[in-house]
C-alpha cells in the first residue's frame, strides 16, 4: 500500500475502529472524519513544506492528528507527543500494523519532559486545539532548533490571546512569522494558522516545571 491517499484512508479507518474501544476522537463518522481529521490536518502543507528540513513533532496529538497525515504526506521523520499513554499505545499499534513505525514514533509523556530529552532537536512542530498561544510558544521553544517553526491550528484567536503571545515571544526566543485564515470544505469550520519561528535563546530557563506554562502563563518583563 504505497499510495499516500490509501495510507491516509487506512489510518483513519483503523482509528475509528479503535475509537469503539477507547475514546480517541469525538468524531465517529468516516465522512466527518475525512473533513475534520484528514482535510483539517493537511491544510498546513504549505507551512510544512516551507519549514526547515528535519525532525517533525506533533504536540498533543491525541489520535494522531494532524501528525500522522502530515508525516505520511511529507515523508518527514516524526514524533507524536501525548501524555495519555493509552491513546499513544493504540496509535503506536496501528502504526506498527501499517509498517509506518520506522518513520513515525510516539512519545507518551509531557512536552516538558520531552524538552529535556530532545532539546533543540525539532525543525517543525504542530499543535492543534491544544492550549493558548502563550503556553504553546513557551512549550515549543526549547524543543525547536534555531529557525525551527511552530505551526498552530486555532479555531478562533481573540485579540487578547494574540497580544499575550506577542508580549512574551521575545522572552521565549520566538517570533510570529505568518498568519492566515481559511474555511474547510464543510463551509463551516474556520481555521487560523499561526506560525512562530525560533529566533534565538530564551531569556529564561526553559522548560519550566511541568504544568506551569498552562497554569501560570509567562508575563512580559517590565
Q: Residues 78-128: pLDDT tens digits?
A: 999 999 999 999 999 999 999 999 999 999 999 999 999 999 999 999 999
Q: Kindly state the DSSP code that residue 67 receives in the 8-state scheme.
A: H
pTM > 0.85? yes
> 17: buried, middle or exposed (CB in 10 Å: 19+, 13-18, 0-12)?
exposed
pLDDT band at 222 (very low <50, low <70, confident <90, very high): low
- Please compute the mean of the pLDDT values over residues 2-20 and round it to a whole number: 91
Q: Which residue has the higher pLDDT, 126 or 220?
A: 126
Q: Does the pLDDT value for residue 14 go beyond 60?
A: yes
- Please compute the mean of the pLDDT values over residues 146-163 and round it to a whole number: 96
Q: Does the pLDDT value for residue 1 go beyond 50?
A: no
Q: What is the pLDDT of residue 20?
A: 84
Mean of per-residue pLDDT scores for the chain = 95
Residue 92 grid coordinates: 503506536
Q: How far is 202 from 196, CA to CA, in rounded Å?
A: 14
- Please compute the mean of the pLDDT values over residues 41-52 and round it to a whole number: 98
Beta 78-82 vs 56-59: how paired, if at all?
A: parallel
- Please compute the mean of the pLDDT values over residues 141-166 and round it to a whole number: 96
Q: Does the pLDDT value for residue 205 go beyond 90?
A: yes
Q: Which residue has the higher pLDDT, 1 or 95?
A: 95
Q: Kindly state the DSSP code that residue 103 receives in the 8-state scheme.
A: T
Q: Does the pLDDT value for residue 19 go beyond 90?
A: no
- Length of the chain as a residue count: 222
Closest CA to 155 of 197, 188, 195, 111: 188
Q: Which homologous superfamily is 4-214 in?
A: Vaccinia Virus protein VP39 (3.40.50.150)
CA 169 to chain centre: 18
| Contact criterion met (CB below 8 Å) for 61 and 89 | no
Amino acid at each position: 500500500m504505497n499510495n499516500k491517499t490509501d495510507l491516509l484512508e487506512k489510518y483513519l479507518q483503523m482509528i475509528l475502529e479503535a475509537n469503539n474501544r477507547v475514546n480517541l476522537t469525538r468524531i465517529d463518522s468516516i465522512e466527518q472524519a475525512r473533513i475534520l481529521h484528514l482535510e483539517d490536518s493537511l491544510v498546513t502543507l504549505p507551512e510544512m513544506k516551507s519549514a526547515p528540513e528535519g525532525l517533525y513533532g506533533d504536540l498533543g496529538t491525541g489520535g494522531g492528528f494532524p501528525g500522522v497525515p502530515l508525516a505520511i504526506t511529507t515523508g518527514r521523520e516524526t514524533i507524536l507527543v501525548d501524555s495519555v499513554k493509552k491513546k499513544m499505545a493504540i496509535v503506536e499499534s496501528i502504526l506498527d500494523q501499517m509498517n509506518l513505525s520506522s518513520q513515525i514514533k510516539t512519545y507518551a509523556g509531557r512536552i516538558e519532559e520531552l524538552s529535556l530529552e530532545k532539546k533543540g532537536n525539532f525543525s517543525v512542530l504542530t499543535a492543534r486545539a491544544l492550549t493558548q498561544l502563550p503556553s504553546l510558544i513557551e512549550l515549543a521553544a526549547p524543543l525547536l532548533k534555531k529557525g525551527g517553526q511552530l505551526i498552530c491550528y486555532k479555531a478562533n484567536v481573540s485579540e487578547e490571546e494574540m497580544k499575550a503571545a506577542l508580549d512574551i515571544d521575545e522572552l521565549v526566543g520566538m517570533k510570529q512569522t505568518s498568519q492566515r485564515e481559511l474555511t474547510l470544505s464543510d463551509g463551516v469550520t474556520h481555521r487560523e494558522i499561526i506560525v512562530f519561528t525560533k529566533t534565538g535563546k530564551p531569556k529564561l530557563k526553559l522548560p519550566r516545571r511541568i504544568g506551569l506554562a498552562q497554569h501560570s502563563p509567562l508575563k512580559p518583563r517590565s
